Amino acid sequence: MQAIAQALGVPCEYCHTAQRGVGEPEPKKDIARAMMAMTREINARVASATGKSAEATAVECATCHRGVAIPRPLHRILQETIAARGVDAAIEQYKDLHARYFGASAYDFSEAALVALAQPIASGKPDQAIAMLKLNLEFYPKSAQTYAALGYTYTRKLDDSTAIAMLEKALEIEPGNGVIQGQLEQLKMYQRRK
pLDDT digits (tens, 9 = 90+) for 18-57: 888 888 888 888 888 898 899 889 888 888 888 887 666 7
Residues 6+ positions from 45 with CB-CB distance below 8 Å: none
Q: Which residue has the higher pLDDT, 47 or 130?
A: 130
Residue 66 backbone class (left: φ over 0; alpha: ψ -120 to 50; beta: rest): left
Q: What pTM was estimated for this model as a whole? A: 0.78
Q: So where are the chain's domains?
A: 2-65, 74-190
- CATH code linked to domain 74-190: 1.25.40.10
Residue percentage of the chain with pLDDT more than 90: 60
Query: Are the C-beta atoms of residues 12 and 1 closer than 8 Å to each other?
Result: yes
- Looking at residues 132-154, what average pLDDT do you find? 97
Q: Is 165 exposed, middle or buried (0-12, 13-18, 19+ CB in 10 A)?
A: middle
Q: Could you read off the pLDDT of 59-88 as tens digits, one per residue?
A: 888 888 888 888 899 999 999 999 999 999
